[in-house]
Amino acid sequence: MSLSEYRGRYRFFKQVINKLMFSDEICRHGDNNILQALGHIIGYPGTLRSLVSGEGGWYQTDLGDTTAVYAYTYDASAPSGTRFAAANIDAAQAWLGAAGDRFYIGCTNKFWAIRFAISVAKTTEILDFYYWNGALTQSYYMGMGDDDKDPVANAILEQIAQDEVVMINPELEDDWAATDNVLDTIPNTGSNLYWICFEVPVGGLVQAPTTDSVEVRGTGVAHCAKLGGVILYGRARMNACVAISLAGFKSPAGTPSATIAISNNVSKSVWQFRTNQNDNVTGIWRLPVAIDTSYPIRCGVDFVTDAAINTLDLRFTAKKTTQGTALGAVADDYDQTASFNVAAGNVYEKCQNLTSAAKFPIDGLIYRDSIQFELERTDNNGNNAYPIELSVSHFLWRLGGVPY
C-alpha cells in the first residue's frame, strides 16, 4: 500500500470514527444497554494511540421505537382514584400548580437525568422531589442549563432561553424499585416502571411551567474484555474526594501545636486536641466546578493520638455559604458528633467517617458556593488527639463527551 493510499484510508476511517463518537443521531434512543459510541484512534506510526468512548444520548423510546418514557400529572384536589392524567412528553404540557400537585416521569429502565424543553417558565418556588422504593421517598436533585452547563441548584424550570436538565441523586439506584398502579400514588400504565415525581410545595406555584419535551438519559456500565476497559452507558458522574489540610484552629486556653511520629520514618506537624479543652479547628471549602449537588457529601478525618482513648468524640458542624449569606451567629446546617474507640496511640487513623449517621445534603448550592466547617473535640477521656486532614467525598458530573 502506498503512503497516499494509507493516508486516504486513515482519513476515511477517522471520519467514520468521529461520526460514531460525536454524532447524537446514532445514540438518540435506547435503554440502559444501548449504543455506546466508541472507537480506536490510531495515528501514524510512532504517534499516541488512544481509546475514546462516548455515551448514549437522550431518549423517549427504545431501539425498537417502543415508548420507554411516560409522564403523568397528578391533581391533589381531585377525588381519589381520578387524580392521574397522562401527560404529553413531546408537545406543550401545562403542569399543575396547587400545593400537593405532582408531575410524574416513569421509564422502563433506571435513568439519571431528565431534560425539559420549557416554553413557559415557572416562578421561583422550589419543587420537592420523590422516587418510588416501596413508598414515595423524598430525595435530592440538581438543575442545570443544557446550553451553558451552568448549575442552577434546585431552581429548575425557571427560564425558557435554553433546555433544562435535572440530575437525580445517584443513590436512588440502590433501592429504586419498579411498580405500577398504586392508588393515588403511582399511575396505572399496565407495566412496572421506575418512577420519580416533582411535587408542588405548600403555598403552591404562582406560575407553573409548561414543558414542550421530556426526555431521559439512562444508566449502565459494563467491562469490555477486548478493549480492556470499562464501557459507560449514559452514566456521566464520578465519585471524587478532596483532602483539606487542617490549617487553622482556636482553643480557649492557648494555641498549642505539636509534632507526632506517624510512623518510624514519617513525622507531620499537626494540631493538638487536648482532653477537656474543647479544642477545635475551622475551615472553609469552596465547591468545585462540575460538582453534582444532587448527591450529599460525606466527610471524614485523618488523625492520630498519644495513646488509647475510649471514646474520642469529634463534633463536626457545617454551614452553607452562598452569595449574600450573613456571617456571624448563623445556625449550623449540619451538626453531628462521631465517636471513635482508639485502641492504641501513635497509629495513623485514615479517613474516619464524620457523617456516618447522615450525609450532608448540598442540594441548594451551586459551584462557587462554600461550606464552612468546624471540627471540635467534646469528650473528656484523657490523652491528646491530632487531627491532620479533613476529606470531602462528592460527585462530579459531565454531559455528552466533554467533562466539566
Instruction: For domain 69-219, give the fold.
Output: Jelly Rolls (2.60.120)
* 139 band by pLDDT with thresholds 50, 70 and 90: very high
Domain locations in the chain as residue ranges: 69-219, 238-399
Q: For 116-125, what is the mean pLDDT?
A: 94
* Band of residue 29 on the pLDDT scale cut at 50, 70, 90: very low
Q: Count other C-beta atoms under 10 Å from residue 39's C-beta.
A: 17
pLDDT digits (tens, 9 = 90+) for 209-252: 999 999 998 755 455 555 555 444 445 677 888 888 764 333 33
* Interatomic CA distance for residues 310 and 40, integer angstroms: 57
| Amino acid 225: pLDDT | 57
pLDDT, the chain, mean: 77
pLDDT greater at residue 397 or residue 246: 397
pLDDT at residue number 267 = 40
Measured between alpha carbons, how far is 5 from 225 in angstroms, rounded to an integer?
32
Answer whether 378's CB lies under 8 Å from 337's CB. Answer: yes
Q: Give the DSSP per-residue string, 118-148.
A: EEE---SPPPEEEEESSSEEE--EEEEETTT
Contact 106, 190 (CB under 8 A): no
* Mean pLDDT (whole number) for 349-356: 87
Range in 91-105, 319-333, 367-381 the model is least confident about: 319-333
pLDDT of residue 25: 29
Give the list of residues 6+ apart from residue 265 with CB closer than 8 angstroms, or none: none
- The pLDDT, as a whole number, for residue 270 is 53
pTM for the full model? Answer: 0.74
| pLDDT of 144 above 70 | yes
Say how far apart CA 162 and CA 144 lie, in whole Å. 10
How much is the pLDDT for 396?
84
Quick one: average pLDDT of 271-295? Answer: 83
Q: CA–CA separation, 78 vs 4, rounded Å?
A: 73
Burial 302-328 (b: 16+ CB within 10 A, else e): bbbbbeebeebbbbbbbbbbeeeeeee
What is the model's pLDDT at position 123?
96
Grid coordinates representing 252? 480557649
- The answer, yes or no, to whether residue 266 has pLDDT greater than 90, is no
- Cell numbers standing for residue 305: 493520638
pLDDT at position 38 over 70: no
Is 133's pLDDT higher than 50? yes
Share of the chain above pLDDT 90, in %: 39
Peptide bond into 61 cis (omega under 30): no
Torsion, CA 251, CA 253, CA 257, CA 262, rounded to 10:
-80
- pLDDT for the residue 42: 34
Closest CA to 337 of 348, 351, 353, 349: 353
**pLDDT of the residue at 395:** 87
CB proximity list for 393: less than 8 A, separation 6 or greater = 239, 240, 241, 297, 298, 299, 300
pLDDT value of residue 18:
41
Cα–Cα distances in angstroms (integers) from residue 239 to residues 298, 344, 371, in the given order? 11, 32, 19
Q: What is the pLDDT of residue 147?
A: 59
**147 vs 230 pLDDT, higher one:** 147
- In eight-state DSSP terms, residue 360 is B
Q: Is the domain covering 238-399 a CATH 2.60.120.260 domain?
A: yes
What would the mean pLDDT of 333-352 be, rounded to a whole number? 89
Distance CA 354, CA 336 (A): 8
Q: Which three cell numbers stand for residue 15?
A: 471520519
Find the mean pLDDT for residues 158-168: 84
286-312 residue pLDDT tens: 998 888 899 899 999 998 888 899 899
Cα–Cα distance for residue pair 392/299, rounded to 1 Å: 5
- 385 band by pLDDT with thresholds 50, 70 and 90: confident
Amino acid 229: pLDDT: 53
